[in-house]
């Protein structure tokens, strides 16, 4: 199992990333792609059914892929799973696939990385219904303080959308949130995770090395690493 080292920058959500010295990446593999952790060396993985690529015809096949792959040691989380009202199949099918992946998460004792677009009511309802013991992380967050507070109150972690977090105005939100519940990501975009850390450190009025340690601590807590 690949884990971050002391002093690493952590990029918590990447598609098509490559590892480099001093940067730990969590590569998101989607079941429809047909890739496995064996295809990429030196990083850790999430594995799940992205709602964009789910349909009635491939549902069972994708679920089987998650069941067969999520148990591998280098897959340290399930996802990205979730809900999207702008793209994807019926909400009924999205809900079913999400609940199935949460069951796998709970069985394997691996946390979940979540994609959610304009379906926060669905996410909140699922959390209330399923009462998960494993941690959840919403990636690509770009909402307001009220929404962030609602998610945090449910024990859900937040990773900010890279474009949102680099905007000057995002600092007002970031500075109001508990630093021990946040992560940072590039989502595979052409942006340096170190630049994101530098911006957020300014927002929090701390040094970059302090932010690195906070996020390593967050990682260890989220993944249950002692």
CATH of the domain at 82: 3.20.20.140
Task: Give residue for tokens 């002391």.
Answer: 6
Q: What is the pLDDT of residue 41?
A: 60
**Does residue 108 belong to any structural domain of this protein?**
yes
Q: What is the pLDDT of residue 3?
A: 85
Q: Is the pTM of this model over 0.85?
A: yes
Q: What is the pLDDT of residue 203?
A: 96
Range of the domain at 25: 9-222
**Does residue 1 belong to any structural domain of this protein?**
no
Domain count for the chain: 1
- By CB atoms closer than 10 A (0-12, 13-18, 19+), residue 7 is exposed
Q: What is the pLDDT of residue 39?
A: 64
Q: What is the pLDDT of residue 42?
A: 62
Give 169's contacts (C-beta < 8 A, 6+ positions apart): none
**Does residue 4 belong to any structural domain of this protein?**
no
Q: What is the pLDDT of residue 18?
A: 77
Cα–Cα distance for residue pair 91/224, rounded to 1 Å: 31
Question: Count of alpha carbons within 13 Å of 122, Cβ hemisphere only?
Answer: 21
Residues of the chain with pLDDT under 70: 1, 39-42
pLDDT per position as a tens digit, 121-154 = 999 999 999 999 999 999 999 999 999 999 999 9
**Does residue 210 belong to any structural domain of this protein?**
yes
**Does residue 2 belong to any structural domain of this protein?**
no
Q: What are phi and psi of 112, to 5 degrees?
A: -125, 135
List the Cα angle 176/155/5 in 5-degree steps: 80
**Does residue 71 belong to any structural domain of this protein?**
yes
**Does residue 3 belong to any structural domain of this protein?**
no
Q: What is the pLDDT of residue 184?
A: 98
């Amino acid at each position: 199992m690949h884990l971050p080292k002391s002093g690493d920058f952590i990029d918590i959500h990447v598609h098509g990333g490559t590892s480099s010295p001093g940067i730990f990446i969590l590569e998101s593999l989607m079941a429809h792609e047909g890739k496995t952790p064996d295809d990429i060396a030196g990083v850790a993985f999430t594995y799940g059914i992205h709602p964009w690529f789910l349909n009635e015809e491939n549902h069972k096949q994708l679920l089987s892929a998650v069941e067969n792959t999520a148990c591998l040691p280098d897959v340290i989380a399930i996802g990205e799973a979730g809900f999207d009202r702008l793209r994807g199949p019926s909400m009924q099918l999205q809900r079913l696939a999400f609940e199935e992946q949460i069951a796998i998460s709970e069985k394997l004792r691996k946390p979940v990385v979540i994609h959610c677009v304009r379906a926060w009511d669905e996410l909140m309802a699922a959390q209330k219904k399923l009462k998960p013991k494993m941690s959840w992380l919403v990636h690509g967050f770009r909402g307001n303080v009220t929404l962030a507070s609602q998610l945090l109150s449910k024990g859900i972690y937040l990773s900010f959308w890279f474009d949102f977090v680099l905007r000057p105005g995002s600092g007002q939100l970031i500075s109001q949130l508990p630093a021990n519940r946040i992560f940072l990501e590039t989502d595979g975009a052409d942006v340096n995770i170190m630049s994101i850390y530098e911006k957020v450190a300014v927002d929090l009025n701390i040094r970059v090395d302090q932010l690195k340690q906070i996020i390593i601590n967050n990682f260890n807590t989220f993944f249950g690493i002692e």
